[in-house]
Amino acid sequence: MSFYGCSLLSTQKFSLEKVTQLFSLTKTIESALINNSLEFSAQWQELLQQKVAMLVFFEPSTRTSLSFQMACERIRLPYINFPAFEQSSLIKGESFEDTLFNVAAMKPDLIILRSSKGNEVTDFLEELKIPVVNAGSGVDGHPTQALLDAYTIQKRLGSVEGQKVLIVGDVTHSRVASSNLDLLRLLGAEVAICGPEEMMPKNEPKWQEIKSFNNLETALEWATVCMGLRVQLERHNNKNGITTKEYSQNYCLNPEKLKILSPNGLIMHPGPFVRDVDFSAELLHDPRCAVHAQVTHGVYIRAAILVSILVEGMAS
């Protein structure tokens, strides 16, 4: 697996070596941006200024969309945002595929794509002949989120290897959980899930290989890292499942429940969270909480990904 000139669609093709190289570049970019020294990028700037990234978000986003735009600004990479649904020809009935063929026909150097389509469009995306970065695909994957999550764990706890990462909530509908499971295990963490039975994935073999808890207290005694998830009501077909009230009583991460997690543990959430349904905003004041650090790291990771894909020899 290489980054240069390639699409980044899934965590399943990552290698330990390439992720380590990407984290090293991310650290360099982070230090340079914190120290406000842009010399680090002098060798790339001329090249990047001649390129254009196209951000195509067919689903709503705050963190991923803005952090990719921020990353582009930081590395001086020109970018164009695809218009909102009502302003695009999607509203006239143009399909997902035809829309992307037309985007690709404008010859951007890279497409950053969020959509409700999952792995079923992987072959089609390869037909575009332009590197595509997956910025969230249906319930199947969110590889850049997994990378920033792993980078955050490494920064805050020293290493991903040996951590016991508990993912709490609507795992069935979470592309973040799926990508995190792949990547965190590659990096040597043990991963477990916790939530009501109807939110625990049943089919894919990779979920059968890991611990699954229904009781949050027991799970938190086991964990060193606790990662909450939003209940993705927009993806639920079954309206007869657990109520929001029952869910929040049993699984909302809050200061009372998190007393069980080790004082050296880490509290995470990819966002967005719904206050007092899946996450209590009081936890943002807990020194173990990394929620806003995750967002900050998203800019660095995404900058490193863009540079690695567009500049030869960076992490490839």
SS3 assignment, position 230? coil
* Cα–Cα dist 10/135, whole Å: 10
How many chain residues touch ligand CP (CB under 6 A)?
Answer: 10
User: Binding of ligand CP at residue 11 (CB under 6 A)?
Assistant: no
Report the residue from 145, 163, 178, 248 that binds ligand CP according to the rule CB under 6 A: 145
Q: Is 271 in the site for ligand CP (CB under 6 A)?
A: yes
| Contact pick of 50, 62, 215, 218 for ligand CP (by CB under 6 A) | 62
Please report how close the Cβ of residue 189 comes to ligand CP at its closest, in angstroms: 19
According to the binding rule CB under 6 A, does residue 141 interact with ligand CP? no
- Which residues in the 121-140 window bind ligand CP by CB under 6 A? 136
| 228 binds ligand CP, rule: CB under 6 A | no
CB atoms under 10 Å from CB of 129, counted, come to 8
Backbone phi and psi for residue 101, each to the nearest 5 degrees, phi listed first: -60, -40
Instruction: Give the CA dihedral 151, 40, 314, 176, nearest 10 degrees.
Output: 30
Q: Before 272, cis peptide (omega within 30)?
A: yes
Dump the DSSP string for 32-88.
HHHTT-GGGGHHHHHHHHT--EEEEESS--SHHHHHHHHHHHHTT--EEEPPPGGGS
Find the shortest distance in angstroms from Cβ 62 to ligand CP. Answer: 4
The verdict on 249 binding ligand CP (CB under 6 A) reads: no
Do residues 314 and 4 touch, judged by C-beta distance below 8 A? yes
Should residue 108 be labelled a site residue for ligand CP when binding is judged by CB under 6 A?
no
Q: Which is nearer to ligand CP, 51 or 74 (CB)?
A: 74
Site for ligand CP in 280-309 (CB under 6 A): none
Q: Which stretch binds ligand CP (CB under 6 A): 46-54, 59-67, 105-113, 217-225?
A: 59-67
Among 141, 143, 195, 270, binds ligand CP (CB under 6 A): 270
- Minimum Å gap between C-beta 64 and ligand CP is 3
Check binding of 64 to ligand CP (CB under 6 A): yes
Our finding on whether 50 is near ligand CP (CB under 6 A) is no
309 DSSP assignment = H
Rounded to whole angstroms, how far apart are CA atoms 220 and 64? 28
Q: Which residue, 33 or 55, is less far from ligand CP as judged by CB?
A: 55
Q: How far apart are CA 295 and CA 269, in angstroms?
A: 10
3-state secondary structure of 193: strand
Binding positions for ligand CP, rule: CB under 6 A: 61-65, 136, 145, 270-272
